[in-house]
Amino acid sequence: MFNSSRLLVGAMSMHPIVVALTGSPGTGKSTLASRLKQHGIHTTSLEQVADAVDALSKNDQTLEVETSKLEKWSWDGEQICIIDGHLSHHCCIDAVIVLRCHPTQLRQRLEQREGYGADKIESNIEWELLSGVWSELIGLHPHVEVIEIDTTHANVPIEPILDFLTNPTHSKTVEEYIQESIDWIGTGNVAESI
């Protein structure tokens, strides 16, 4: 792996790609984006992207994103750009990082969030159970490289993610990986535990 952030930034400057950092709300996207930023990786929020292409509107104190406009956004930087947001995979991307979290743990995280009522929590738990992000990815980007990370437990190692960012072409595509993706329902007693 890399011994310093300087080496990582140098390696990334050779591969200017856009990477979606996606997953259900509460899976740790913003936390991971913050950690990647500490390693010198450029990150932007989905809200910034949406605002740049006039895809962001406010409805009853809630921000809404018109996902069909997100593909208009383009990155003109010289290094990797991470888009942090659960709809980031609707942008034009070269690779994707999918974060997953066991529904029991995800429920606990979402219950601690302000503005998350029972209906919103249930909707997000169901989305995670059904692997909703994967169903969208296979339709939108079947041929981009992907890495899936289970964030159920704290202290997710960053090295595999840094390796993926500097060598995404050594990874599987969404189409190749989807059968190996996490299946919370297939694990058995998940319904009883949530």
Q: Domains of the chain, with CATH numbers?
A: 5-179 (3.40.50.300)
pLDDT band at residue 5 using 50, 70 and 90 as cut-offs: very low
pLDDT range class, residue 15, cuts 50, 70, 90: low
Query: What is the average pLDDT value for the chain, to the nearest integer?
Result: 88
Kindly compute the dihedral angle of the four CA atoms of residues 99, 105, 106, 110, in this order, to the nearest 10 degrees: -140
Name residue, tokens 């606990």: 108
Q: What is the mean pLDDT of residues 31-39?
A: 95
Residue 96 to residue 44: CA distance in whole angstroms: 14
Residues whose CB is less than 8 angstroms from the CB of residue 123 and which lie 6 or more positions away in sequence, other chains included: none
Query: pLDDT (tens digit, 9 = 90+) per residue, 36-73?
Result: 999 999 999 999 999 999 999 987 777 799 999 999 99
- pLDDT number for residue 62: 77
Query: What is the residue type of 33?
Result: A
pLDDT tier at 187, thresholds 50, 70, 90 = confident
Among 112, 103, 76, 73, which Cα is nearest to 89's? 73
State phi, psi for 2 to the nearest 5 degrees: -95, 140
Q: Residue 154 above 70 pLDDT?
A: yes
Q: Which two tokens stand for residue 85?
A: 């947001």
Question: Looking at residue 63, what is its pLDDT?
Answer: 79
